[in-house]
Structures are given as C-alpha cells and as structure tokens.
Amino acid sequence: MSSKNRPASAVTADSSATERLSQVARHISGSQDESTSPSSTGRRTRRSKGSRDTGPPADYSDVLSNLQKLNTMAHTPDLSNRGYVRQKREGKLWVRERLEQLVDKDSFKEIGSASGRVEWKQTGRRDEEPVSFTPTNNLQGFGMLGGRKVIITADDYSIRAGHADGAISDKTIYSEKLAVSLNLPIIKLTDGSSGGGSVSTIKTQGWSYVPGVPGFIEAVKGINMGIPNLAAVLGPAIGIGAARAVISHFSVMAGDIGSLFNAGPRVVEGATFEEGLTLRELGGPGIHCLNGTIDNLAANEAECFEQIRRVLSYLPNCGQSKLPPVIPAIDPIARVSEELRTIIPRRKERMYDARAIVVTVFDAGSWFEIGALWGRTAIVGLARLGGRPVGVISLNCEVNAGALDAGGSQKITRHLKLCDVMNLPIVQFIDVPGYAIGTVAEKQATMRWGVELGKAYISTTIPIFSVLTRRVFGVAGGIMVACRDPMMRVAWPSGEWGSLPLDGGIEVGHRWELKQAEAEGKKKELYTQLDDEYRRLMNPIRTANAFGVEEIIDPAHTRRVAGEWAMHIYDEVLPQRLLDRAAGRIHPSFA
C-alpha cells in the first residue's frame, strides 16, 4: 500500500516514531542540541545548546576532582607549618610516614579522608574548589599487617597537638566502633591527646561542656570480646590519649620520643609546684615502663611497629569467635633438650636463668616477653609449641629469690586475663617460695595484689599446664598450681614443696625444741638432724607415691609433654570453648 492510500493516523504514528528514534540517537551521541522542527502536532521548539548554561558533568568529575585536590593536600606536608616543623625537630615521623612503615606496602585505605577544615573558593554560580585543607588530627583506616586486615587509628600531633579543637569527635571514636562491628584488630598510634580536651574548645564552641570519655565504652566492649587492641606511644600521650594506650591489651613506648601523663608539665607546675619538669621526667619510659603502666619499651618507632606486628601474630581477630592462628612448625615437637637436666642447681640456695628454660622448651625463636622491666619477680609472654600460640608464665628466682611481690602479682594477673580473652592456653613454670615478706612487701600491699592474683587464677577458665621445676610453697604456690580441677601438671626431679620452705620453717615448727637445745649448746646439731630428716622425707618420689603429684618427668622431655598437651587443647578443648563463649556459659574479661 502506498503512503497516499494509508490512513492519516498511520502516517502520523510513523512520523512520531521516527522523531523519537532521532532523539534517542542524539542523546546517545552526546549531543546537547535537542531542538526539533515545527510539526503539524504543534510541539514546542526546544532550546539550542547556546541558549542555556552548560550543566554539571554527567560523570561527577567536578566532585571527584575536588576530592582528589583534598587528598593531594592531605598527603603533602606543609614544610613551613610550625606543627610539622616541631614534629621533625623532635625526631618524630609524620603521621603518614608512620603508616607507611607500619602496614604492608600500599595496603592502607583511609576512612574519612576528606574530613577536616576546608577553605573554599567559588568558581561559578554553583561551583567551588578547595584552596586550603587542614585534615582532622586523627587519621584512620584499614591496612594489612603481615597479611592480616586491621583497623588503624593514628594521632597527628602536628595539628593542634591532637587536641579536640583539631578533631571531629565522631571520627575519633568511629574506629573503636568499627573494630567491634567487624571483629578486626585495632592498632592505636598515640601522639598527643587523641581528641582530648583543650580550653580553646570553650572559645570555639561558645560554651563549656561536661567532660566524657569518648570511645571508652566501645573500647572496653572490644577488649573483653578479645578483639586485639594494641597501642604504641610515639610522643607525649596526654589525658584520654594516655588512657586509650593504657587500656589496650598490649602497649609499647618509643624510648627516644615517648612519654605519658595525666597532664603536661605546665599544668603540673600550677597544681603541685613541681617546676621545670621535662616530658621524660614527668612520664617518660624510665617511669612508665618500670611501673607497669606501659608493657614494653622499644628503642624507637620502627621497633614499636615490629613489636606490634609480633604480638598480633599470636592473637586471633576476635577471641569470642576465633582461635589463635596456628602456623606450620619447623622445630620438632619431640626435640630432646638434655641441657634442662642440669639447669636447676642441686644446691637449693643457688639461682638459675629461668628464661633459658622458656627459650629451650618452646619453638625456636618464638618467645616474646611482655613487661620485662616491671614486676620482675615474674616472667610472662607469648610463644609457640608446635606452631600453636600459648601464653607463658614463669617465676624469676634471680629477683627476690622468686618470691612474688605486688608487681609480679599484678603482671601475672594481667597476663592471665589476656590469655583468657584470647583463647591462649597457658604453660607455666613454677618455682615460688611464696609471697614476698618484710616491711617493703607489706607497704606495697603484697597480700592485696596476691589475693587479686588468686581471684584471677580462679575466675579465668583458659586451660593451664604447670611444670613444677623446683619450689612450690605457701599460698602463692597453692594458687598457681591448684587453680584447675583436674590439675594438668608434671614435676621435675628437682621439685620440692610444702606449706613453708625449710629455711625458717624448721625454726617455726620446732621453736621449743631448738630453744631447749640451745640452752644445752646443741642447737646446731639438732637443727642439722631435723634438716636432714625433712629433706629425706621431701623426696619428690614420696609425693608421687601418694599421688600428691601426678607425674615426675625427665626435664629433657618437657617440650614433648607440653607440646602434646597443647595439641590436644587446640584440637579438642578450644573448639568447645568457642561454643561455650557463644552460648554465654563463660564470660572472659580483660577490663
């Protein structure tokens, strides 16, 4: 049928279809000219390209360009900025340099990269571009540490010394919430007040706020869940910044630049009249790495980062739902260590190196000590047995003869709680004559902290394997070895135990006889007879005869015995422990 003979409605329909196809074609080709010729339908003529303003780009390149400008500014330090100059003058890395050294290469992904104070320049009716950018003084994001994903929060001391007037509070605490939500370890690089208060905030806001502890609730929740919280003090940690480091599972201070205190020297001078204090004199490593406020000392920032990587390698992402990471073992679990047969002197008064036992028993190169400079009557740390991470506790007979003082009790208490929330089985080496005695011990509240240690042993539920290397006396010994039922323990042939050590114990138990013998001039003879008799009866095999100790082993085979125990715990006991935690039947707590 020709067009002449077609109905008018059909011709009109074809015309409309052709016009719509042309419009679609022009749209796809990117043409902005949408004008059409006048038609019999009376359609309005659209404006031509030149008759209106060009709209924003369809690909949002204007917004992306401004974000890129902000990113470039943030990554380019202002070499004339007095905060940056001070940072370098004090020998400290810039915050972004720290992140480059800490995380695996090119793995850091920032969160809140555009947050901060921006000065904008208007470039059009609706357009603008940034001309200056001061980021918030808390940098955070995701990164990889040894191939493991972590959350990192780092203070930028070059911007308002980390104070709140250079921060955004919601951003500062966001990382704490994110770690809990995603079950990811959080690394805190502290340098300043971590968003803590400054009086200038009153002037900025126009009113004075009632102080709080931003992020603390979230931090405590994550810590008790067993989400690793690891902190490095890389400058003066003040107020809330100091608290965020101290509350962590593990903290380390850079010896060349680190310090920590509740308030700085100027505030202290006005309150206590202590004048002229330096940061290190007020709260340097010589104070806080010796009193237990900070766990470990590092020579510099690089060593801080290495210690954090090392500690993380033993810990799960979340103790509430994961087990510690097991790695292939190179060191044979059945390795015989003949040197352990002679490490305990036959003369009871002589000391020995307890750390040598630890290094020998566990996987070669796996021992990492925590708190070596404080609470020195005790030795604690992390190691591996057949590639399986374990917590380690030992007494140190070279300090105070191994008698547990207040500091040693505090250190073991803290370590028990760490292992409990992280599902780390504990291997402990017992040589303890009891709690420390004397006026110094009493002034340090040794019994108070000794009881706290006992509460920690009883309230934690992580499996413990005890090796009785020599002395087990008094309440301290009883607490350490009898804290689980049934007890998992073995003894060495050098073991001796009882309510009191013989030295002093004989004097107390036979005071009347010895007094009479003294009057007759025979005290020394009687004392020697009593000492010989007691030492014969304290033969460890006699205790084993009465099943007072489950097994006496050859010290050379300690690694195999402890390793087989750890293997069973990881295969059979810890998986059930995760179910118990999920069901709420046990509630490990660190904080």
CATH of the domain at 479: 3.90.226.10
More confident residue, 324 or 52: 324
Q: Are residues 350 and 296 in the same domain?
A: no
pLDDT at 181 over 50: yes
Question: Which of 314, 329, 349 delimits the end of a domain?
Answer: 314
- CB-CB contact of 255 with 279 (8 Å): no
Report pTM: 0.85
Please indicate, yes or no, if residue 244 is contained in any of the structural domains.
Answer: yes
Residue 572 included in any domain: yes
Show the tokens assigned to 107: 């793995």
Domain contains 256: yes
Establish if 333 belongs to a structural domain: no
Question: Do 437 and 569 have their domain in common?
Answer: yes
**Residue 89 CB-density burial (10 A; 0-12 exposed, 13-18 middle, 19+ buried):** exposed
Same domain, 392 and 484: yes
Mean pLDDT of the chain: 88
Do 384 and 302 belong together in one domain?
A: no
Q: What is the pLDDT of residue 39?
A: 46
Q: Kindly state whether residues 372 and 479 are assigned to the same domain.
A: yes
107 and 233 part of one domain: yes
Render pLDDT for 463-500 as a digit per residue (tens, 0 to 9): 999 999 999 999 999 999 999 999 999 999 999 998 87
Q: Is residue 33 included in any domain, yes or no?
A: no
pLDDT of residue 344: 96
Which residue intervals of 538-573 are DSSP H helices?
540-545, 558-568
d(CA 173, CA 194): 10
Same structural domain, 262 and 398 = no
pLDDT band per the 50, 70, 90 thresholds, residue 35:
very low
Question: Tens digits of per-residue pLDDT, 82-97?
Answer: 888 999 999 999 999 9
Domain that holds residue 573: 338-492+553-583
- Both 370 and 247 in one domain: the answer is no
Indicate whether 68 belongs to any domain: no
Residue 346 shares a structural domain with residue 476: yes
Query: Does a structural domain hold residue 294?
Result: yes
> Are 309 and 376 found together in one domain?
no
Residue 2 inside a domain? The answer is no
Q: Work out how many domains the chain is built from and give that number.
A: 2
Longest dimension (CA), the chain: 151
Answer yes or no: do 397 and 444 share one domain: yes
Peptide bond between residue 486 and the one before it cis (omega within 30 degrees of 0): yes
On the CB side of 288, how many CA atoms lie within 13 Å of its CA?
30
Is 416 within 8 Å of 371 (Cβ atoms)?
Answer: no
Domain boundary among 314, 330, 354: 314
